[in-house]
Amino acid sequence: MESYPSHTAPYSMDYDAVYMQEQINDMNQQLTQTRSQRVRAAMFPETFNDEEIQIPSTQKHFGQMTTVQRLAEPSRMLKHAVVNLINYQEDADVAVRAIPELISLLNDEDQIVVGHAALMSHQLSKKEASRHALLNSPQIIAALINALNKAKDPETIRYLTGALHNLSHHQQGLLYIFKSGGIPALIRLLSSPIESILFYAMTTLHNLLLHQEGAKMAVHTAGGLQKMVALLTYDDPKFLAITTDCLQLLAYGNQECKLIILASGGPDNLVRIMERYNYEKLLWTTSRVLKVLSVCPSNKVAIVEAGGIHVLSNLLVNPSTRLVHNCMWTIRNLSDSATKLEGMEPVLEVCVRMLQMDDLDMIICSCGILSNLTCNNHANKSYVYQISGVEALVATVVKAGDREDITEPSVCALRHLTSRHAHAELSQNLIREEGGLMPIINLLHPPSHWPLLKATVSLVRNLALCEKNNPELRGLGAVPKIIQLLVRSHQEVQKAVLSNSSDGIMMDAVRMDEMVETCVGALHILARDVHNRTIIKEHNCIPLFVQLLYFPHENTQRVTTGVLCELAAEKDAVEMTEQEGATAPLTELLHSHNEAVATYAAAILYRMSEDKSADYKKRLSIELTNSLVRGDPNTWNNQLTQVEEMSNDEMYQPNNSQGNNIYPSSKTPDFNSLQPLHQGLYLHPNQANQSNQFYAGSESGSRHNQPMRFPDLTENVSDPYAVRYSNNTGSLVSQSGRALQLDGGPWFNTDV
């Protein structure tokens, strides 16, 4: 309840008492006489004198407002609105009349006059009405910037920048500042030692970068980046928050700006800010800059070397969700450059724990980080196994369904955990025990994209190293599905060869020749099982394997000779291999610089010679001795035992097709030199006229008229090859608004 002003003395009546008629008449008369005073006291208290006037209260119950009091508040609001309107119009009229004179004074040669004009301009820019009048005059804004370029007095500069700062809160003001050349003038002020000038200049530039088209390029051209990076040593957290946000706006999507930030020492300063301050907004804006820089290879290395991953990991317990999200995305982007870092256990623990959350952002980031940090790092692989990372990843694959932004990095991480470390075999068994084989094999179905297919095939290859996994893998149809993928990828390579285009080998940022190698490598390991060998033979794969012996990629030759060597344990497979004309290419491969290729080729030829004449065996023995011993007393049988355990553990970036050489050898194969023979036999010019050196009775060429048989694994799909393949960006539109745009670039590496 609103009380009367202090200069009135209200008194209350006892409405519960019994009054005589005469007393009632007196009270009514008193209320009538004071009615106007009560209204004035409620609506216009400032009109009363200081002397006290007793006004009787008409309030019967305490806490209830009288009618006059209820009417008083809207009346006061109306009065204030009228007063403000009058003042607004007065301010606008004053500004309109003053603008021509201000323009003249701002252009005066006398700096004292300019200073007074700057003060007046600053005062006018503070009030809304006069500010709008200034905004309607591009001439006054041009005069302010012109005076700013000439001014030497700090106070004058402060008034001028303050006026521009106030005007920059409106789109029209931003446009006139931009068109009048205000950005170079403001950037020069970033070197000012005066805090208020620095603040006005930076916030005005920030408004321009946020809302004015073309401002980013103008700031970049005027050298604003270098000056902003230099200001990262400033101590004011709020000022640093504005500065780092400017850097994020400039660096996003601009590689040149990222490199300028790097050259100016930006990564070190940004990491220092993340480590030193606890102001949430500053940490958030700085993490946004680091996230943008983390997709630049050069900045990525600098951030890691500055201790960025350790600093960011310490912030993963921060209560700010948006900060934790940015830190996780940044760590994920940096993680492919941190595979050799020590002390990653806290990060790995957080990632495994976050796999159990419902936050998609955190799950995607965790899978990517685990994939990268376990790549070629035995200690990290073992640690993830010990903290139940395998179980968590299997559960993630099961829950993810067809979300490839989750399944692909998860499968890559599992692939790393099942290869080349102390707990690899335990991990292979654990995946089966956790029920992971079926969801993994199901990923080989459409509509999985090539990056996921390649990672899954590699994981199956590792799982097949465990004998206990083979029955279930076979029962789930792993072998026919991999054969189908081999045929599909082989067809894509054939198309590229026939069109003389090496670019055509790329599908969804995966090279199809690499996919061929991956599929054959998986079949190589699967072929160690006698039942799997039968399936491979039934699908008539040997003709394709013989074709691949001519493939120019050394790794493909290695896995192809490896699978043929496993199949050679079966007499009928040896005969099929020989009938397909494999003797000539195998003889050539005896002289390969790759010891594994030469050893496998020798093993196959040796088994092919078992029913040959003694003379043939003698000539073969001499050839094998000349090609394999090479000064080593060990026989090829000992070498074979060694090469069977060879495993490629290269890191690669499946989403990066910008000129990376995927071949470990110094010379990239020239696919244009291949000659298509019959239905896809790859023949180098120096192999075209080779004759069969050992078996004169073998067929020359190959029987390609027999189609390969493989089951239709695409239920409810009319065309088994009509698989939707598109670029896999490794991103997700999430609640954090990233789309999830990380400014492009790959985000995880893999090993086999």
Which tens digits make up the pLDDT trace of 594-609? 999 999 998 998 888 8
pLDDT attached to residue 608: 86
Rounded to the nearest 5°, which phi and psi values hold at 516? -60, -50
pLDDT tier, 131 (very low <50, low <70, confident <90, very high otherwise):
confident
The mean pLDDT of 645-670, rounded to a whole number, is 38
pLDDT tier, 171 (very low <50, low <70, confident <90, very high otherwise):
very high
Environment class of 715 (CB within 10 Å of its CB; exposed 0-12, middle 13-18, buried 19+) = exposed
Question: 529 and 470 in contact (C-beta within 8 Å)?
Answer: yes
Spatial distance between the Cα atoms of 218 and 225, rounded to a whole number of angstroms = 11
DSSP state at residue 705: S
Question: Would the pLDDT of 674 be above 60?
Answer: no
Dump pLDDT digits (tens) for 270-294.
999 999 999 999 999 999 999 999 9
Higher-confidence residue: 243 or 15? 243
pLDDT attached to residue 562: 96
pLDDT attached to residue 668: 36
The mean pLDDT of 567-584, rounded to a whole number, is 92
Q: In DSSP terms, which residues pair with 95 in a beta bridge? A: none
What is the identity of the amino acid at 411? V
Spatial distance between the Cα atoms of 370 and 376, rounded to a whole number of angstroms = 12
Segment among 62-66, 462-466, 538-542, 634-638 with least mean pLDDT: 634-638
Structural domain boundaries in the chain: 1-65, 92-379
Task: Please state the CATH superfamily assignment of the domain spanning residues 92-379 in this structure.
Answer: Leucine-rich Repeat Variant (1.25.10.10)
pLDDT attached to residue 208: 98
pLDDT attached to residue 21: 76
pLDDT attached to residue 401: 86
Dump pLDDT digits (tens) for 692-736.
332 222 232 333 333 333 232 223 333 322 222 233 333 333 333
Mean pLDDT (the chain, rounded) = 80
Question: Would the pLDDT of 394 be above 80?
Answer: yes
pLDDT attached to residue 327: 98
Spatial distance between the Cα atoms of 215 and 43, rounded to a whole number of angstroms = 52
CA atoms within 13 A of residue 1's CA, in its CB half-sphere: 13
Question: Would the pLDDT of 249 be above 70?
Answer: yes
Distances (CA, A) of 258 to 32, 248, 252, 294, 298: 80, 9, 8, 10, 9
Token readout for 366 is 């965790």
Distances (CA, A) of 514 to 131, 297, 464, 471, 749: 65, 24, 20, 27, 15
Residues 6+ away with beta carbon under 8 Å from 225: 219, 247, 250, 257, 260, 261, 264
Question: Would the pLDDT of 686 be above 60?
Answer: no
Higher-confidence residue: 587 or 78? 587
pLDDT attached to residue 317: 93
Name the nearest CA neighbour of 474 among 519, 551, 433, 535.
535
pLDDT attached to residue 18: 66
Segment among 2-11, 124-133, 453-462, 544-553 with least mean pLDDT: 2-11
Higher-confidence residue: 323 or 681? 323
What is the identity of the amino acid at 77? M
SS3 of 57, please? coil
Residues 6+ away with beta carbon under 8 Å from 441: 460, 473, 476, 477, 478, 481
List, in sequence order, the alpha helices (H) in 252-342.
Answer: 255-263, 266-276, 280-293, 297-305, 308-314, 321-334
Q: In DSSP terms, which residues pair with 8 in a beta bridge? A: 53
What proportion of the chain, given as a percentage, has pLDDT over 70?
71
Token readout for 129 is 């009405």
pLDDT attached to residue 124: 87
Residues 6+ away with beta carbon under 8 Å from 126: 166
pLDDT attached to residue 576: 94
The mean pLDDT of 121-128, rounded to a whole number, is 88
Higher-confidence residue: 495 or 426? 426
Question: Would the pLDDT of 380 be above 90?
Answer: yes
Q: Quote the pTM value.
A: 0.74
